[in-house]
Amino acid sequence: GAVVSQHPSRVICKSGTSVKIECRSLDFQATTMFWYRQFPKQSLMLMATSNEGSKATYEQGVEKDKFLINHASLTLSTLTVTSAHPEDSSFYICSAEGGASSPLHFGNGTRLTVT
Amino acid sequence: ILNVEQSPQSLHVQEGDSTNFTCSFPSSNFYALHWYRWETAKSPEALFVMTLNGDEKKKGRISATLNTKEGYSYLYIKGSQPEDSATYLCAFDPLDSGGYQKVTFGTGTKLQVIP
């Protein structure tokens, strides 16, 4: 149980275009999801907390207009990288909150390359 | 920024050897400490969520201990097997995250078990 599906796993796009990444909870309802970014040889960095039916909460230094998050249903959160630039190239991964003292449930991640 | 560190960054062990690695985290504002196992091209898989000082948890050949007063946790693998090869992540879950699991991850320990 508690499977999170993230799509796509890899995407290459041209500079200036937008890319949408989807994170779905397949067999449970996820009120809260998190989006992370990982730079090479660094840890997973929390970008934002996504809550169903409300605006996402962004961490300090994360541009909310660059990284649009929508959590319109209890099973789907999306991250859109708008007007992507090569510096946005990174690994992005989502997780669903497991609840107090429970683990997080992760997607497989998305490798974004902006050319 | 919370300081969560893991050591070593990587290690190679022979099949059958036992090994351990460390996660250090802030000794104040503690709520929980997570351990995840992350294989390449897969999603991080939860191993343990630990909340009590002195706690020890076990899952097969893998076990973990927790010292919240001094801010460290050890992960042990007994009789390492090639399938144990993965990156092991710890994540610190603080008390004051507004009720959300806004964890801070370490950079991980990459384990390679040589057959």
Chain A nearest CA to B65, separation (Å): 16
pLDDT at B43: 94
pLDDT at A86 over 90: yes
Chain A nearest CA to B44, separation (Å): 6
The beta-carbon neighbor of A103 closest among B34, B105, B108 is B34
- Give the number of other Cβ atoms within 10 Å of residue B81's Cβ: 12
pLDDT at A22 over 80: yes
CA distance A50 to A35: 8
**b/e string for A66-103 if b means 16 or more Cβ within 10 A?**
ebbbebeeebbbbbebeebeeebbbebbbbbbbeeeeb
Strand partners, B111: B11, B86
User: Is the CB of A43 less than 8 angstroms away from the CB of B36?
Assistant: no
Q: What percentage of chain A has pLDDT greater than the value 90?
A: 78
Residues of chain B with pLDDT under 50: none
**A8: contact with B, CB 8 A cutoff:** no
- Give the number of other Cβ atoms within 10 Å of residue A2's Cβ: 16
Contact list, A34 vs chain B (CB under 8 Å)? 101-102
